[in-house]
Amino acid sequence: MKTIKMLFFLLTGLTVTVQAQQPGLMQALMDGLSSALLTDAQVAQLSRQAVQQMDSQNPVAGPNDPYTQRLNRIVRRHKTVSGIPINYKVYMVKDVNAFATADGSVRVFKGLMDVMTDNELLAIMGHEIGHVINHDTRDAMKKALQRSAVRNVLASRSGAVGKLSRSELASFADYVVGSSFSRKQETEADDYSYQFMKKNGYSVMALATSFEKLAKQSGGAGVPTFLSTHPDSKARAQRVRDRAKRDGLSR
Ligand SMILES: [Zn+2]
């Protein structure tokens, strides 16, 4: 009995901390419990809150930082993609990573910018934005919320009604950053990026070479997060090369 009380105290303590940090996210997650079906607007709102939280927890490059200036230059023609307004930021983190969220936030890590050319960065962002346009990100988020809801219902049986632990919030954030998509979703995001590059007059080969660089990265020490959610870089590069050849764009 003592143990249970202690555990409850610990959970409550953690919840208070999380609540103080991010009341909006907390409230939104709580709302998710009562509605099995989330609207797209709710998902976008949640994404924005999750991104705001991540921005506050990561070193964001300032407006005059060379990395920000380079990214701004690369994306200057792409502030709106397929009708969705996109906001871009650089995280001064050495990981080879990038992600896009359902509200149209794109975050590129310093480590990725260090190894990729401008066109390769565009190809990778095109892929990530493809997941947003194809609603993969939205669907992954809905799944994450449902999972949170299930956990909370289970927790309520032992007395901790609707309490969210820090680990639950963390697992939710994992979904936002590194949603694992199906092979079909990955292929479709690749195709979106290919079209994006082609339509805007960039070399589609940058998509292939970016995958090849990612494949090499995985051979080194420490597999980048980006790769763990995006497998088969070599095969995907070859697929792009084959298509470019057919389209007469392989130079
Ligand atoms: Zn992907």
Does 37 have pLDDT greater than 70?
A: no
Tell me if residue 143 falls in helix, strand or coil: helix
Catalytic site positions: 128
pLDDT in tens, 186-220: 999 999 999 999 999 999 999 999 999 988 876 54
Q: What are the domain boundaries of the chain?
A: 2-246
Distance 193 CA to ligand 1 centre (A): 10
Distance 235 CA to ligand 1 centre (A): 14
pLDDT band at residue 93 under the 50/70/90 scheme: very high
pLDDT in tens, 161-187: 334 455 555 555 665 555 678 889 999
Distance 131 CA to ligand 1 centre (A): 7
